[in-house]
Amino acid sequence: MREVEAIIERYGAKRRHVIAILQDIQTQFHYLPREALLEVAARVRIPLIDLYSIATFYNCFSLVPRGEHVIRVCLGTACHLKGGTRLVEALERELGVREGEMTPDGQFSFETVRCVGACALAPLVLIDGRYYPKMKQRKLTQVLARLRRARPPAEVTQ
């Protein structure tokens, strides 16, 4: 994979850079493809299991493809009480996928998280790293519609 090679080149094939390398791979592909992990292991001379441990330890890495937009619904204590689960249901209806899955057009993937540290603004939804405080089902639908308009599914070619 040429992209992976370039990323490794950028940091240098050193063990201490693997997290940075994996982060860049994640940004580029929206997940860590298996071939990419194999390649990093071979080039950096680090056991594959160590990479796999890192890749499964941190939440920012994913081993399955993530969509263009990553939607995270908080289900921490405060958000749970304030109706986070209802937002999850609304999203499942809206996107037609279950938690942890990606929409078939590759636009959205949807995950739940435990407390993002802003409980006063519960219930929270994070979309592409942006906080959407005091979320409501209707507002969520609007945000999704806006994201869809910004990049209609037809244009998504991977």
Partner 1 sequence: MTRLYINGIEVDLEEGTTLLEAVEHLGIEIPTLCFHPGLSAYGACRLCVVELGDGRLVSACTYPVQEGLQVRTHSPRVLRARRMLIELLLSICPGSKRLQDLAAEHQVERVRFSVRDERCILCGLCVRMCAEQMMAHAIGFVNRGYRRRITTPFDLTSDVCRRCGGCLYICPVCELRCQGPEAPSVVCGSCMTPAPTCPPVYEDLACYMGAAGECGTCVRGPRTPDRRSPDFTRRRESV
> What residues make contact with ligand FES under the rule CB under 6 A?
74, 76-79, 115-119, 122, 124
Q: Which of 144, 118, 142 lies closest to 131, judged by CA?
A: 118
For residues 69 and 108, is the Cβ–Cβ distance under 8 A?
Answer: yes
Catalogue the E-assigned strands of 11-55: none
Nearest distance, CB of residue 58 and partner 1, angstroms: 8
Angle 34-44/18-29 helices, nearest 10 degrees?
150
Burial of 102 (0-12, 13-18, 19+ CB in 10 A): buried
Q: Which is nearer to partner 1, 59 or 142 (CB)?
A: 59
For residues 64 and 51, is the Cβ–Cβ distance under 8 A?
Answer: no
Is residue 10 involved in binding partner 1 (CB under 8 A)?
no
- Reading the block at residue 3, the tokens are 């992209």
Nearest distance, CB of residue 6 and partner 1, angstroms: 24
**In the bound complex, which residue of the shown chain has the CB atom lying closest to ligand FES?**
76
Is residue 37 involved in binding partner 1 (CB under 8 A)?
yes
118 interface partner picked from partner 1, ligand FES, none, CB below 5 to 8 A per type = ligand FES
In three-state secondary structure terms, 39 is helix
User: Contacting partner 1 (CB under 8 A), which of 52, 101, 105, 137?
Assistant: 52
Q: Which is nearer to ligand FES, 136 or 148 (CB)?
A: 136
Chain positions contacting partner 1, by CB under 8 A = 34, 37, 47-53, 56-57
